[in-house]
Amino acid sequence: MSTLLRRLRPDPYVLALLATVGVAALAPASGAGATVADSVTDVAIAGLFFLYGARLSSRAVLDGLKHWRLHVVVFLCTFALFPLLGLGANLLVPVVLTPALYSGVLFLCTLPSTVQSSIAFTATAGGNVASAICSASLSNMAGIALTPLLVALLMGGDGGGISASSVLSLVFQLLLPFVVGHLSRRWIGDGIERHKKVLSYYDRGSILLIVYVAFSKSMAGGIWQQIGVLQLAALFAVIAVLLTAVLLITRGAARVLGFDRGDEKAIVFCGSVKSLATGLPIANVLFPSTLVGLVVLPVMLYHLTQLIVCAVLAQRQGSAAEPQRAPEPEVAAAR
């Protein structure tokens, strides 16, 4: 019974995300406060990507590249399978999804994989952790460039796309801090490893700030007047079907291609999850303030769903395989 209660215990970070949306609905940033919040958010986003770059080990990436077949499968699942499924969801507009919510679902499908969460799930399930580290890192790094390009290709006329100003914002807010962070790793890498837990609070706090500012802006645009309870329920159903389909397809593809069970688990957990931490800053740059709240809503909902579903799957697979104990997946929820 105690084990069951631990599994059913809500993740504090998930509760914090929901609470942040509630605070934004009741007390949105406005006027001078909104201007300050925007500036602080820009700095926080740059800091996030600086830390992402500093944490990325070039040696780990180079070592992991040896398992190139696995990485190709994960890459195609993340940046080809998902966008194709997202395009297929256009059939649900406008009966099931509103155009704005569909934009959010399609944006979700362009995002890279998580890093910490996919690694934690793979470790808990007893999968190939080394390959998961490499695949997730490569996906996240590639996503900084590929996600905006996919958004421009798939959503150019629907409120998202690449303009001269958005390119500059992407370079100075995301790409440049990432590169500087990675180049600085030789001097600050050890310190970052020693203070990993403290820095995780910065990660999560930054994401909560981005969520607050995004929903504050959307409150000004009347977000809750644009979506009702039935539309929210329909969105959740679409998200659940999307996650289920990708989990089944990734597992089937791994088996058809002859991967062993350890590799299969890495493919499933790296190929089916999406990065909230990368997605929110990119959405903040690419989409107008009145639309960004509705766009990130499917991303947040998918993030919460993947945490719950993948945690349960990883624990069951890990119990069956009796792997060495791994960190709890909830610790990795930030990305």
Domains belonging to the chain, first-starting first, are 2-332 (1.20.1530.20)
**What DSSP designation does 325 have?**
P
Residue 164 or 155, more confident: 155
Q: How many CA atoms lie within 13 A of 151 on its CB side?
A: 28
Residue 324 or 194, more confident: 194
User: What is the chain's alpha carbon radius of gyration, rounded to the nearest angstrom?
Assistant: 19
- Inter-CA distances, 133 with 83, 180, 320, Å: 23, 21, 23
Is it the case that residue 161 has pLDDT exceeding 90? Answer: no
- Give the model's pLDDT for residue 189: 87
Average pLDDT, the chain: 83
- Give the model's pLDDT for residue 251: 96
Least confident of 6-10, 69-73, 85-89, 190-194: 6-10
pLDDT (tens digit per residue) in 104-148: 999 999 999 987 788 878 888 888 887 887 888 888 888 888 999
* Chain centroid offset of residue 243 CA: 13
Neighbours of 210 (CB within 10 A): 25
- Give the model's pLDDT for residue 11: 67
- Give the model's pLDDT for residue 7: 55
Closest residue by Cα to residue 299 from 220, 228, 210: 210
Is it the case that residue 323 has pLDDT exceeding 80? Answer: no
Is it the case that residue 324 has pLDDT exceeding 50? Answer: no
Share of the chain above pLDDT 90, in %: 30
Q: Which residues of 71-96 are buried (b: 16+ CB within 10 A; e: fewer)?
A: bebbbebbbebbbebbeebeebeeeb
- Give the model's pLDDT for residue 326: 43
